[in-house]
Structure 1
Amino acid sequence: MKTFITAFLLMLGFQSLDAQDGNFVETNGVKIYYETHGEGEPLLLLHGFSLSHKAWDSWIDDLSHEFMVITPDLRGHGNSTNPSKEFTHELSAQDIYGLLDALKIDKVKAIGQSTGAMTLTHMATMDSTRISSMILVSGTTMFPLEARKIMETVTYERWKGHMEPHQPRGEEQIRILVNQFRNFAKTYNDMNFTSPYLATITCPTLIIHGDRDDFFPVDIPISFYKSIPNSYLWIVPNDGHIPIGIYGRNSIWSDVFYKVLIEFFNGTWD
């Protein structure tokens, strides 16, 4: 009996420690949920639209040996709130800067995929000095016709399967996010980065893009590369909008990506 009680108390202790990994910061009219893992220089990971911090789970163990990894849920996603039900990538950037301010973090390295990359693009053009280096995966400067056509056709029924593990508030939360995504098809001012604007980004930037991306054709990452002064470009062959196994590490490029990000963030590239 004593052994059982001891084991039970230990289990409760571990659950308590796990619970302490997640926290909220109130900023910009929302509550942003975030987790931190490891110690060292901060590395911010921003997920794509319709996902959550859980999308990065397969990377946490390795990255937390190198960095203090910060994985927030973007506004309205996962455990984060969004009372206004408004989502723009500019607002998302303001949220994340509010999170960093609350954590008293002046400068970060960062990786973002799709909406995460678009959020980082806004952040870097707002204040490039706060991002020491960043990796943009499947980002864009604007929404081309190809993307708008896909956005218009997204439905709750099509997306609920991959969203349910990420959205704890269930159907209502998923439907709100689906509607926000569909509204992107009718917006033109949120993602509208011209070359002179992108040229203000001073931090080293690695641009990664699949050559079969259905949303954003390869001329978009090429325009990123040509516009951002200190940038590098990796076009991944035969890969789509979620390239290099960025979620799940299930690609032949996943191990290569890990080696690349460590080398890139170590600042050894000229």
Structure 2
Amino acid sequence: MQKYYTTILLLIMSNYAIGQEPKKAETVSINGKEIYYEVYGDGSPLFLLHGYSLTSKSWKAYVNDYRNEYEVYLVDLTGHGKSELFRSELSISDVAVDLNLLINYLDIDRIKAIGFSFGGDVLYQLALLNPSLIESMITIGAVGTWKVSDFQDYLNEFTYENRKNFPWLSDHSSDEQVKELMNQFKNYSILVTDKELQQIQPEVLIVLGDDDEGIDIMEVARARKNLRNSDLWVLPNVSHGAHEGVNKEEFIKKSKDFLTKQGSGSISK
């Protein structure tokens, strides 16, 4: 558990080093909720989705790596950051509905996307909700199926009383929002069935650290077996944030190869 949160802390701290101004930033009313997003660069749309209890700021350090090839969208997913806090029980599929409606509002027909953890789970739901929307997607530390009840240590530690142990929570809009995020964590549960996995149309690159204690290897195998077009990239000696730290440069290169279909086909370990 401590290793998991140490990884997240390093991820957040590294992202404060790089700053740039978006060409557009606004909060819009989507599905009766206020949702915030930012836009950088030019090209085809690329959405970068953050993990649970993080915000779009966690992707800021990556914007300059993608903005010359893509129009990069950073979104504070429902309940996070500058978006409105949760008003009902956490549902990953409902978050995907809100994201889909935001993309409709933006008048975008096709996207590529990268999702970390919670953001990756949202992408699997989005691919089911709007099958023609996503051209290709990368998920990091996520295979679309996860429930926090399998990890009691996470529930015991990630509480409002322990909030000072998680400094990235200061990126959220209010103390009320932080409290709601931490209270809602107990409701984190999502399952993508074999049949649903088989229906997912985008090309998927699953990125994992081999020390990611939160990902069941059997679920990875099930996803690989049932996804119609997927690659798996396992990075050695890293935990949940497999795209960060010393792996960032290699991740950027391989993610670009995958998203532009310029790689050799499969992604090796």
Question: Normalising TM by the smaller chain, what interval?
Answer: 0.7 to 0.9
Match runs of 1:107-118 below 5 Å = 107-118=110-121
Task: Name the CA distance, whole Å, in 2 between partners of 1:64 and 1:108.
Answer: 14
Q: Which residue is equivalent to 2:15?
A: none
SS at match of 2:138: strand
SS at match of 1:243: coil
- Deviation of 1:267 after TM superposition, in Å, equals 1.5
Q: Which residue is equivalent to 2:127?
A: 124
Tell me the percent identity: 32
Q: Which moved more, 1:122-131 or 1:140-149?
A: 140-149
Q: Which residue is equivalent to 2:212?
A: 213
2:170 to 165, 177, 180: 165
Quick check: 1:204–1:230 contact (8 Å CA) kept in 2?
yes
Determine whether 1:180 maps to 2:204.
no
Quick check: 1:147–1:214 contact (8 Å CA) kept in 2?
no
1:155 to 156, 159, 162: 159
1:133 to 131, 136, 146: 136
1:49 to 27, 52, 68: 52
Q: Which moved more, 1:108-117 or 1:233-242?
A: 233-242
Structure 2 unmatched runs, 5+: 1-19
What amino acid is the match of 2:179? Answer: R
- Deviation of 1:157 after TM superposition, in Å, equals 3.7
User: TM-score if structure 2 supplies the norm length?
Assistant: 0.84
Task: Name the CA distance, whole Å, in 2 between partners of 1:121 and 1:83.
Answer: 21
SS at match of 1:199: helix
Task: Name the CA distance, whole Å, in 2 between partners of 1:27 and 1:144.
Answer: 27
Q: Which moved more, 1:47-56 or 1:234-243?
A: 234-243
User: TM-score if structure 1 supplies the norm length?
Assistant: 0.84
Aligned length: 243
Match runs of 1:258-269 below 5 Å = 258-269=252-263
Task: Name the CA distance, whole Å, in 1 between partners of 2:236 and 2:151.
Answer: 24
Q: 1:95 to 1:237 in 2, by over 3 A?
A: same
Task: Name the CA distance, whole Å, in 2 between partners of 1:134 and 1:83.
Answer: 26
Quick check: 1:146–1:214 contact (8 Å CA) kept in 2?
no
CA deviation string 1:225-250 (max 9, x = no partner): 111111000112121122120xxxx2
Task: Name the CA distance, whole Å, in 2 between partners of 1:93 and 1:81.
Answer: 15
Q: 1:196 to 1:83 in 2, by over 3 A?
A: closer
Give 1 or 2 for the bigger CA radius of gyration. Answer: 1
Task: Name the CA distance, whole Å, in 1 between partners of 2:167 and 2:140.
Answer: 20
